[in-house]
């Protein structure tokens, strides 16, 4: 009798926890979707904020978010993947590998606001000002800019990319590595021809998930480059040398608007927070939509790769 009671209590407890999580998610997403659905229109997505940001759209923030995310990928992905390959395939179980692994895990536990402050101190004030000092001719690099915000975000997602890449590499069976070595492959040939083709999908999936996390962060970009309001997009004309052509390009030395920061200032810094409530809801919905698309692409990639593993 007692055993059956405990069984029921255990199942009830586990089920309760699951439904509590499900309920919280539905409640949160539901209220955002309900509040934002009527706001998110085509013009909301394509227009600039107007009337002291109480009207108009959020296009500059969407543009800024996409730019900074791409820039972050460009910086973090190659670095993180290379570090993970070195850690798993080359350093092996050595003392050096253990130290790297411990540092990476510690880095993953650092609060994001610390990364933000580190970004100002290191990238803007140290790296940027140093470049300016060498360059001469005033302040250009040594101020908050998209490139420094992206670099700060890259540092934030780096440990996540490294850990997920290392997991994907470790999932490749040892027997495949042995077979390749036994055929006379060098270590790099083993990595490039046997390990990476099999780990590719896992690496990409993990990276996309970490990037979708980074794309929603506010604290790291707070001081390093995002703007309260910008009347223009961070775009400048790039003159092609020796021609009269000039192409409009994203200017990574400019400041930018960003979705999560936009939500933050709308909710806390706006002179009329109730009036902008609809815009807050709409912006949140767009941000969640963007991360959802990223996560969905990760899932699609993973299932497709799994299928290919079986059928080549």
Partner 1 sequence: MSPATIAAPKPKSRPAGEGNGDAGAAIKIRFKDLAFTYPGRPALRGVSLDIAERRVTAIIGPSGCGKSTLIKSVNRIAEIGTPITVTGEVLLDAEDVYAPGIDLVDLRRRVGMVFQRPNPFPKTIYENVAFGPRLHGSTARGALDAAVERSLKQAALWDEVSDRLHTSALELSGGQQQRLCIARVLAVDPEVVLMDEPCSALDPISTARIEELIEQLRERYTVVIVTHNMQQAARVSDATAFLLDGNLVEVGETERIFTNPGDRRTEDYITGRFG
Each residue 15-44 as x (binds partner 1 by CB under 8 A) or -, in order, gives: ------------------------------
Element (H or E) spanning 274, and its range?
Answer: none
Residue 226 and residue 90: Cα distance in Å, rounded?
A: 39
**If binding means CB under 8 A, how many residues of this protein chain bind partner 1?**
25
CB of 80 to partner 1, least distance (A): 23
Helix H or strand E segment including 265: helix 259-268
As beta bridge partners, residue 49 has 56
If one asks whether residue 166 binds partner 1 (CB under 8 A), the answer comes out as: no
Residues 6+ apart with CB under 8 A from 53: 229, 266, 270, 276, 279
Q: Which is nearer to partner 1, 118 or 181 (CB)?
A: 181
Kindly report the backbone phi and psi dihedral angles of residue 245, in degrees, each rounded to the nearest multiple of 5, phi listed first: -75, 145
**How many degrees, rounded to 5, is the angle at CA 150 between CA 149 and CA 152?**
65
Element (H, E) at 250: strand 246-250
Q: Which of residues 109, 111, 136, 184 is near partner 1 by CB under 8 A?
A: 184
d(CA 17, CA 81): 36
Closest distance of CB 305 from partner 1, Å: 11
Stretch that binds partner 1, among 175-183, 201-209, 230-238, 264-272 (CB under 8 A): 175-183
Residue from 79, 91, 100, 185 binding partner 1 (CB under 8 A)? 185
Q: CB under 8 Å to 304, separation ≥6 — which residues?
A: 201
Q: What is the closest distance, in whole angstroms, from the C-beta atom of residue 11 to partner 1 in the complex? A: 40
For tokens 């420094």, name the residue. 148
Q: Which of 28, 140, 296, 309 binds partner 1 (CB under 8 A)?
A: 309
Separation between Cα atoms, residue 51 and residue 162, nearest integer Å: 44
If the CB atoms of residues 93 and 138 are measured against partner 1, the closer one turns out to be 93
Site string for partner 1, 186-205 (x = CB under 8 A): x--x---xx--xx-------
Residues 154 and 73: their CA atoms lie apart, in Å, by 7
Tokens of 46: 């394509």
Chain positions 79 to 108 lying near partner 1, rule: CB under 8 A, are 92-93
Q: Which of residues 232-291 bind partner 1 (CB under 8 A)?
A: none
8, 50, 176, 239: which one binds partner 1 (CB under 8 A): 176
Q: Does position 306 bind partner 1 by CB under 8 A?
A: no
In the complex, the residues that contact partner 1 under the rule CB under 8 A are 92-93, 173-186, 189, 193-194, 197-198, 309-312
């Amino acid at each position: 009798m007692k055993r059956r009671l405990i069984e029921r209590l255990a199942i009830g407890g586990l089920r309760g926890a699951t439904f509590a999580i499900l309920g919280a998610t539905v409640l949160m997403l539901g209220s955002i979707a309900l509040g934002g659905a009527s706001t998110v229109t085509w013009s909301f997505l394509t227009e600039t904020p107007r009337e002291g940001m109480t009207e108009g759209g959020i296009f500059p923030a969407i543009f800024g978010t996409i730019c900074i995310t791409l820039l972050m990928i460009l910086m973090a992905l190659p670095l993180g993947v290379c570090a993970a390959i070195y850690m798993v395939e080359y350093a092996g179980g050595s003392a050096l590998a253990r130290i790297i692994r411990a540092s990476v895990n510690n880095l993953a536990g650092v609060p994001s606001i610390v990364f933000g402050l580190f970004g100002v101190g290191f990238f803007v004030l140290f790296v940027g000002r140093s470049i300016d000092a060498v360059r001469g001719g005033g302040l250009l690099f040594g101020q908050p800019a998209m490139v420094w915000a992206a670099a700060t975000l890259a540092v934030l997602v780096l440990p996540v990319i490294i850990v997920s890449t290392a997991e994907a590499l470790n999932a490749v069976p040892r027997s495949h590595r042995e077979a390749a070595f036994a055929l006379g492959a060098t270590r790099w040939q083993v990595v490039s021809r046997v390990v990476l083709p099999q780990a590719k999908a896992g690496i990409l999936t993990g990276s996309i998930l970490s990037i979708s996390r980074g794309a929603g962060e506010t604290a790291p970009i707070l001081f390093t480059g995002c703007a309260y309001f910008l009347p223009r997009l961070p775009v400048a004309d790039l003159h092609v040398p020796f021609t009269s052509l000039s192409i409009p390009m994203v200017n990574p030395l400019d400041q930018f608007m960003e979705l999560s920061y936009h939500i933050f200032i709308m909710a806390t810094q706006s002179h009329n927070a109730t009036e902008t409530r609809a815009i807050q809801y709409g912006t949140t919905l767009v941000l969640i939509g963007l991360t959802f698309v990223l996560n969905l692409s990760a899932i699609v990639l993973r299932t497709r790769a799994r299928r290919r593993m079986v059928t080549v």
